[in-house]
Amino acid sequence: MTQISHRVSGLRAGTLTLIGACGLALAGCSGETPASDETGAAVLAEPASDPVPELLDDTDGMETVDDALEDTGLAGIFEGNASYTLLAPDDASFAALGDGGKALTDGEDEAAMAALLKQHLLPGYLMPRDIESAIERSDEDSVTITSLAGEDLTFRRNGDAITVTAPDGAEATFKGEALAGGASVAIPVSGLLRKAES
């Protein structure tokens, strides 16, 4: 299967035209990636060979979370067989912590950063579409996924976006394109899933 060689950097939610074009490209532009199987079910595109941290490194607005993965050593979990899904907060989400949050982002409290990242890590390979599909089928219009930090995160649709809510009320919203690399996925989000007082 041929890997698609282009990407759209800096994509933002709401840019429907770009998203649509990209989606169409993913599904069919290569000419070799099947869009659906004989039943009509959508077929996944193949993940990149680069692990998730490297994909984040190449993505605009994801520098902080990428650095955090490297500094805490959690980048290593993306190099093996195990699958994880990272709800990857964008740089603006960390910047919103203000000066007090610099202790987190500057590496002063890496244990705290590792704990924060665990809250954004989910077991397995979760595509946004998997989550949306499950929400649609849910009687409650929401689904729950337990994070690697052991907390139940609630996913809901909010207009055109999917939002994630942590038990403490912290909320993040899917944005941009998911990055699939190696055995894992990163879904860019806006917002941190832990309320922080610094």
In the complex, least distance from residue 93 CB atom to another protein, rounded to whole angstroms: 15
Q: Is 180 in the site for another protein (CB under 8 A)?
A: yes
In the complex, least distance from residue 63 CB atom to another protein, rounded to whole angstroms: 15
Q: Is 50 in the site for another protein (CB under 8 A)?
A: yes
Is residue 178 within 8 Å of residue 47, measured between CB atoms? no
In the complex, least distance from residue 71 CB atom to another protein, rounded to whole angstroms: 8
Alpha carbons 170 and 172: distance in angstroms, whole number: 7
Alpha carbons 105 and 72: distance in angstroms, whole number: 11
C-alpha distances in Å from residue 96, one per residue of 99, 170, 185: 9, 13, 24
Alpha carbons 99 and 180: distance in angstroms, whole number: 32
In the complex, least distance from residue 169 CB atom to another protein, rounded to whole angstroms: 13
In the complex, least distance from residue 171 CB atom to another protein, rounded to whole angstroms: 16
Q: Is 179 in the site for another protein (CB under 8 A)?
A: yes
Q: Is 58 in the site for another protein (CB under 8 A)?
A: yes
Q: Which strand (E) or helix (H) includes residue 73?
A: none
Q: Which residues between 104 and 163 bind another protein (CB under 8 A)?
A: 104, 109-116, 118, 121-134, 136-139, 143-146, 148-152, 155, 157, 159-162
In the complex, least distance from residue 13 CB atom to another protein, rounded to whole angstroms: 4
Alpha carbons 121 and 186: distance in angstroms, whole number: 9
Instruction: Find the binder of another protein among 10, 35, 95, 106 (CB under 8 A).
Output: 35
Instruction: Find the binder of another protein among 53, 89, 181, 191 (CB under 8 A).
Output: 181
- Cβ neighbours of residue 181 closer than 8 Å, sequence gap 6 or more: 47, 48, 49, 50, 51, 52, 54, 55, 78
Write each residue from 59 to 98 as x if it is in contact with another protein (CB under 8 A), else as -, in one continuous string.
------------xxxx-xx--xxxxxx-------------
Beta partners for residue 154, in sequence order: 144, 165
Residue with tokens 């007090």: 100
Instruction: Find the binder of another protein among 10, 23, 92, 106 (CB under 8 A).
Output: 23
Q: Is 32 in the site for another protein (CB under 8 A)?
A: no
